[in-house]
């Protein structure tokens, strides 16, 4: 396999191949499309994919037995359009460097995969034959397996579903503004949906169902006008569902989140649930006010203690000050007594 140095398309999918990928395949530097889905292959995802195959635009490892983490070297595949590692045993976090996949960050049509491959077979004196081959791939799109051929240039997708990925969804993924489909479902992802999710304006399909994601649904999600398929079900999401032109049409997308409320669900929101941000702001202001009052009380107590002991302590422990203090008040008392006696004498005259 390592001698296929000029091969552009290599499809070994839907067989019963097992074992690990031979490292000699890193010599196939011309590969644009590499599909080994629906086999029984195993081992770590090779790091040489991102080093030895720099032109890869489609990488499909779906439904195998690969394990381990996603190698950071895959982020070197700047021409990547379709990355499908779904239905394996991959663990660890989603690499933050996925924003280096610059083709996925570009909106619109890509012609990397839309050029037909022509083959000229020389014949006898009567002439030869020219055959054309168009790339075709099968993908799970919106929950169903579909084949794509002439529209490959429109497909820009990342599918990491049905693995054991954990940690948060990196906010860097929102920089892939050309992404059309994102499937992170059936993992162990935690944290919140990044507020920048609304930057994915080309998104047609989003599935992050059956994870452990919590917090509120970002309002920016309602700003994605092209969204035709959405599944956020069976997470720990809470608060009111943002109002938009699309979200209220996806009732099934929100099931399994008992703390969600508002249309299209039938349970109404309380005031705090309807405005979680405002409620949090009020709570923060209340906490600040309590802390401010507590600080004032503490300052008053400390001031009293310091003042009291500053005056009384010096009289207790310094004898000369104590004598001077009482002599001062004795002299002051004598002065007032004298003045009072003089006033009385004048009054009697």
In order of start, what are the domains of the chain with their CATH numbers?
A: 9-190 (3.80.10.10)
Hunting for tokens 């049409």 — which residue is that? 249
Question: 117 or 261, which is more confident?
Answer: 261
pLDDT at 2: 85
Among candidate residues 81, 84, 78, 82, the one with its CA nearest the CA of residue 97: 78
Please state whether the predicted TM-score (pTM) of the whole model is above 0.85: no
Question: 251 or 100, which is more confident?
Answer: 100
- CA dist 188 and 184 (Å) reads 10
Question: 218 or 141, which is more confident?
Answer: 218
Predicted confidence (pLDDT) per residue in 175-196, tens digit: 999 999 999 999 999 999 999 9
Predicted confidence (pLDDT) per residue in 153-183, tens digit: 778 999 999 999 999 999 999 999 999 999 9
- CA dist 151 and 137 (Å) reads 10
> Lowest-confidence range among 4-13, 28-37, 128-137?
128-137
Please report which confidence band the pLDDT of residue 281 belongs to, taking 50, 70 and 90 as the band edges: very low
Q: In what order do the strands lie in the sheet with 229-231?
A: 9-11, 33-35, 58-60, 82-84, 157-159, 181-183, 205-207, 229-231
**Long-range contacts, 276-282 (Cβ 8 Å, 24+):** 276/216, 276/238, 276/239, 276/240, 277/216
Among candidate residues 237, 101, 118, the one with its CA nearest the CA of residue 170: 101
Cα separations in angstroms, 184 against 132, 162, 163, 207: 36, 8, 9, 6
Distance of CA 96 to the CA centre of its chain: 9
Predicted confidence (pLDDT) per residue in 214-270, tens digit: 999 999 999 898 899 999 999 999 999 998 767 888 888 999 999 999 888 888 887
Does 142 have pLDDT greater than 50? yes
Among candidate residues 96, 61, 101, the one with its CA nearest the CA of residue 77: 101
Distance of CA 258 to the CA centre of its chain: 22
pLDDT at 14: 92
Q: 3-state DSSP call for residue 3?
A: coil
Predicted confidence (pLDDT) per residue in 20-77, tens digit: 999 999 999 999 999 999 999 999 999 999 999 999 999 999 999 999 999 999 999 9
pLDDT at 344: 78
pLDDT at 310: 65
Does 9 have pLDDT greater than 50? yes
CB 158 within 8 A of CB 181: yes
Does 117 have pLDDT greater than 70? no
């Amino acid at each position: 396999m390592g001698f296929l140095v000029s091969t552009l398309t290599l499809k070994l999918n839907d067989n019963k191949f097992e074992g690990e990928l031979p490292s000699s395949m890193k010599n196939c530097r011309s590969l644009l499309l590499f599909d080994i889905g629906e086999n029984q292959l195993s081992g770590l995802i090779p790091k040489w994919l991102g080093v030895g195959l720099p032109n890869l635009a489609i990488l499909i490892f779906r439904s195998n037995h690969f394990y381990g983490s996603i190698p950071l070297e895959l982020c070197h595949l700047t021409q990547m359009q379709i990355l499908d590692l779904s239905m394996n045993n991959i663990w660890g976090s989603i690499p933050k460097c996925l924003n280096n996949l610059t083709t996925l960050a570009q909106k619109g049509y890509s012609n990397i995969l839309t050029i037909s491959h022509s083959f000229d077979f020389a014949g006898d004196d009567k002439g030869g034959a020219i055959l054309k081959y168009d790339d075709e791939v099968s993908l799970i799109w919106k929950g169903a397996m579909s084949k794509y051929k002439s529209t490959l240039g429109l497909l820009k997708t990342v599918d990491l579903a049905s693995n054991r990925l954990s940690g948060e969804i990196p906010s860097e993924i929102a920089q892939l503004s050309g992404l059309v489909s994102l499937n992170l479902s059936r993992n162990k992802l935690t944290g919140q949906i990044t507020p920048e999710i609304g930057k994915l304006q080309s998104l047609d399909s989003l599935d992050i169902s059956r994870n452990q994601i919590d917090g509120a649904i970002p309002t920016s999600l309602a700003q994605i006008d092209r969204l035709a398929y959405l599944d956020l079900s069976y997470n720990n999401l809470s608060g009111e569902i943002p109002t938009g032109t699309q979200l209220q049409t996806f009732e099934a997308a929100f099931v399994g989140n008992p703390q969600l409320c508002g249309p299209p669900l039938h349970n109404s929101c309380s005031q705090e649930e309807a405005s979680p941000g405002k409620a949090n702001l009020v709570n923060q202001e209340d906490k600040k006010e309590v802390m401010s009052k507590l600080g004032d009380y503490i300052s008053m107590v400390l001031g009293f203690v310091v003042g009291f002991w500053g005056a009384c302590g010096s009289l207790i422990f310094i004898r000369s000050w104590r004598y001077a203090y009482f002599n001062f008040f004795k002299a002051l008392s004598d002065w007032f007594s004298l003045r009072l006696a003089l006033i009385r004498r004048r009054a009697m005259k």
